[in-house]
Structure 1
Amino acid sequence: MKSKLKFAYILFRNVLIIFLLLEIGLGIFYSYHDESGIDGNTERIIASGAFDGLEDETVKEIFRELRQQDMQWEPYLHYRFKPMNGKHNTIYENGRRKTVNLSLKDSATALKIFCFGGSTMYSAGARDAHTIPSELSKLIHTNFPDQNVEITNFGCHGYTRATENIQLQRELIKNNIPDIVIFYDGVNEVISAHQNNEAGLPSNGYNRKKEFKLAHNYKKRIKLMITSSNLYRFITTLQRKLFTNSAYIQLGERSDALATDIADTYVGYVKISKSLEDNYNFKVFNFLQPVIYSKENLTEAEQGYFRDQQYYENLYDLSYETVRKNSLMKNDSTFIDISDVFDASDKTIFSDFCHTGELGNQLVAARMFEYLKPELTPKTTETVIVPETEQLTKINN
């Protein structure tokens, strides 16, 4: 009996040692693989021409910093950025990205513009001075040099319109009332719906579901430990490679019905922001953003991105078209479809199926600015001249 127990103990110990050695070895391998993979993808982006005019090493630095970004828990929003002081990406203590505010003279009296969106509003892949909010700031400063304007970039990777509405509400509760609110959406509404096979849920919400009550459930702990291990990653990657000839998960198209749900959910959140607009007296702009499926003239590089992630196409095409046809959106001056903003360009704009280089951010900011102009134009006070005889009549009465 003792010999059997001793044998079982030795076997268990050896299996554990082998597992730990494999886990550590694969961890070192994947750490190197992932880092080199990022640079490998950046080489592809550089070759595409999306960052013409920038040194290759600068582009690599931008994307390395994106890889280094981390998140922390944030109530109601699931997460927000941790502070970062990168060479090209600056994130403040409050989790918001730096915007070059050229027109800011006095924050207390400034006209406030809040910019909400996902990683495209954050402007992943661009330097601080070339994000959509920073490019918008340049246009305002050039055209309205005397205006005192402060722009805040609330964009964060994976945020959907639902999350952005909560962000705005939290600022309003703190009495941080904007004058203009910009929502730049479309991409994450589709991605989150595709992930969860349900519209309106947060991006990566399925991960939060797996983690719920993890501390009180040993089965969940063990399962998460296994599925998060490097060995599990190796085995599943090997399986996919053997049976699909690809190391990556093969995503399929979702049903057309899901596209309708995406559109209806988006319209619902627009309605909510309109009620806030009326109550707090600010101006809302709802911009429907471009994606690679909506660009008319694709370059060779962009055609490659299109093919790589074509499984999203039906959801984007149908959900966008349903939003456009919605009676509320058709009659709402705050809803502006700018998905065609790149149609006149024959240059490579995209660095994947939805993110753009700095040229794309300039073009988006320029289109937004055209709609913001009336709100930025100083209001002139008309002087009414009352005839002298009329003044005498009023005095005598």
Structure 2
Amino acid sequence: MTVSEILLTAYYERADKKEIQSAVKAKANSGVYANADLAEGYFKELKEAAPWPFPWASYTQSREPDYAGKFINVNEGIRKTWNSKAINDDKSARLKIFFFGGSTLWGAGSRDDFTIPSLVAKKLVENGISAKVTNYAVNADVTTQSLIRFVLELRKRNVPDLVVFYGGLVDAWSACREGKPGVPIGSSNLERISSEKEAKARISIKLENLALIRLLTGKKQPVGCLKQLDVLSDGALDVYLGNVWFIEAISRSLSFKTLFYLEPELSDKTQKTKYEEGQLLKYEKWLPGYNDLYSLMSSKLVRREYESLRRNVVHDLRTIFSDVARPIYVDGGHYGEDGNERISRKIAADILALYAPAN
């Protein structure tokens, strides 16, 4: 038994490593990046910088681990964002802008200087707007986690002039994966180790980690959410809009401005590459119904938003890649730097409309 476990563990470690290496090469050669060798180096670094599960953090459940690399740098849980040297030296920069979201905003697929917040910062400077931009996004964050992170900053008296919330996709993923809306990814695992179930959970976790059990049971088949699409999309949208309402209420009290964006998704890209088609199928296999759930959230947004907020405040970006033929996505949920460029152009234009310099 012991010898079999040791041999099987070594086998699965090699097999998992080979699978990761294969995925890294596939992303690097997806057509999204001009330099495949550089991209492969980036994705190897990304695996080190953003391991799963993330370190534990009070209230929010997780935080980004600190990391120093060639492409990715995280300090005290915050990803490095491009800001002009003049603005970094100027403590009285005109605008203080916070960004909150999940992995797409954090920049899974992009170098530090080419995340959405970094590109927005560059565009603002080019258009005469002095701003200090901070990227508080965390991989796998649902909007409630982003909201709590924001509240923790406000508690420190760290109040922005403008806050940008970018997401929605992880809310759909979490609702589909966990079987209920409004909870962080992995909540079902945490529930298993509540005090009354702790002993049983410890045993089950140990058993699941045995290589022999993995051999006998094989990979778990995803349950998905195809049978609960309407209920879960309603619930996820309720939670999302409830968070928007709460942030809007705080903004009136503390006098900061807000922008909200519902992010795009690969299924909305009409002209997909062969690689992108494969990634879409892979994600749907991982979590059946997830794409449909997010599409339902989007289709219900305008009516539910007006019912909840009495006005439309969420910018829906789901069509931003719809007619783009060139490669955009590096996997089923994340885009490369060209995708970030297109999105940042839209967000920067919205910010400029709020803070256009006087002629």
Equivalent of residue 177 in structure 1, options 156, 159, 174: 159
Question: What's the % identity of the aligned pairs?
Answer: 27
1:75 maps to 58
Tell me the equivalent position of 1:352. 331
Cα distance change, pair 211–22 in 1 and its aligned pair in 2 (3 A): farther
1:201 to 166, 183, 203: 183
- Please say which structure displays the higher CA radius of gyration: 1
Deviations 1:116-164 (A, max 9, x none): 10111111021111111111111112112xx431111111111011001
The answer for the alignment partner of 1:386 in structure 2 is: none
- The equivalent position to 2:119 in structure 1, one of 132, 135, 139, is 135
Partner of 1:273: 247
Q: Residue 124 of structure 2 contacts residue 130 of structure 2 at CA under 8 Å; is this kept in 1? A: no
CA offsets, 1:141-190, max 9 Å, x none? 2112xx43111111111101100110111100100001111111111000
> Contact 1:38/1:64 (CA < 8 Å) preserved in 2?
no
Which deviates more, 328-337 or 127-136? 328-337
Counterparts of 1:141 and 1:22 in 2: how far apart (Å)? 61
Q: CA deviation at 1:330?
A: 8.5
* Mapped pair 1:113 → 2:97: yes
* Consecutive unaligned residues in structure 2, runs of 5 or more: none
Residues 254, 90 of structure 1: CA spacing in aligned structure 2 closer, same or farther, 3 A cutoff? farther
C-alpha separation between the residues in 2 aligned to 1:324 and 1:23? 54
Q: By how many angstroms is 1:66 displaced?
A: 2.1
- Give unpaired runs (5+ residues) of structure 1: 1-17, 241-246, 381-397
Given candidates 71, 86, 89, the residue that maps to 1:88 is 71
Residue 104 of structure 1 is aligned with which of 84, 87, 93? 87
Partner of 2:46: 66
Aligned partner of 2:233 in structure 1 is 259
Structure 1 equivalent of residue 344 of structure 2:
365
Q: CA deviation at 1:294?
A: 1.8
Give the residue type in structure 1 aligned to 2:226.
E
CA distance in 2, matches of 1:333, 1:140: 25
Secondary structure, in 3 states, of the residue corresponding to 1:181?
strand
The CA deviation string for residues 256-305 of structure 1, in whole angstroms up to 9 with x for no partner, is 22111111221111101101111111111110100012222222222222
Question: What is the DSSP-based 3-state SS (H/G/I as helix, E as strand, rest coil) of the residue aligned with 1:211?
Answer: coil
Aligned positions of 1:161-310 closer than 5 A? 161-213=143-195, 217-237=198-218, 249=222, 251=224, 253-255=226-228, 256-310=230-284
The amino acid that maps onto 2:253 is N
Q: 8 Å contact 1:180–1:283 — kept in the other structure? A: yes
RMSD of aligned residue pairs (Cα, Å):
2.1
Q: Which amino acid aligns with 2:78?
A: R
Q: Residues 104 and 236 (structure 1 numbering): CA distance in 2 closer, same or farther, change over 3 Å?
A: farther
Mapped to 2, the partners of 1:203 and 1:157 lie a distance apart of: 10
Equivalent position to 1:57, from 31, 37, 58:
37
SS of the equivalent of 2:55 reads strand
Which moves more between the two structures, 26-35 or 362-371? 26-35
Question: Aligned partner of 1:28: which letter?
Answer: A
Correspondence for 2:21: 39
> Equivalent residue for 1:316?
294
In the superposition, the TM-score normalised over structure 1's length comes to 0.82
Q: CA deviation at 1:328?
A: 4.6
Cα contact 1:99–1:134 (8 A) shared by 2: yes
Q: Distance in 1 between matches of 2:261 and 2:308?
A: 11
Give the conservation status (yes or no) of the 8 Å contact 2:177–2:224.
Answer: no
Q: How far 1:331 moved relative to its partner?
A: 5.7
Paired residues of 1:105 and 1:148 also in contact (CA < 8 A): no
- Residue identity opposite 1:33 in structure 2: A
Letter in 2 for 1:95: G
Partner Cα separation in structure 2 for residue 254 and residue 313 of structure 1: 13
1:212-243 CA deviation, whole Å, 9 max, x = no partner? 338x8433221211112333223221xx5xxx
In structure 1, how many angstroms separate the alpha carbons of the residues matched to 2:297 and 2:336?
25
Take 1:250 and 1:50, find their aligned partners in 2: how far apart are those partners?
31
Rounded Cα–Cα distance in structure 1 between residues aligned with 2:264 and 2:222:
25
Normalised to the residue count of structure 2, the TM-score between the two structures is 0.90
Gap change, CA 1:63 and 1:46, over 3 Å in 2: closer
Kept in 1: contact 2:263–2:318 (CA 8 A): yes
Q: Aligned to 1:72, what secondary structure does the other structure show?
A: coil
8 Å contact 1:76–1:166 — kept in the other structure?
yes
